[in-house]
Amino acid sequence: MTADPDCVFCKIIAGDIPSFTVFEDDQVFAFMDINPVNPGHSLVIPKHHSANVFETPDQWVAATMIGIRRLARAVEKTLSPHGINVLQANGPGAAQSVFHFHMHVIPRGVDDGLTMNWGLNPGDMEAIGKLCEAIKGNLD
Geometric angle at alpha carbon 135, from 133 and 140, rounded to 5°: 120
Query: In the chain, how long is the greatest CA-to-CA distance?
Result: 52
Contacts of 35 (CB under 8 A, 6+ apart): none
**Whether 49 is catalytic:** no
Catalytic residue among 48, 49, 102, 104: 102
The alpha carbon torsion through 74, 77, 83, 87 (nearest 10 deg) reads 0
- What are the residue numbers of the active site? 102
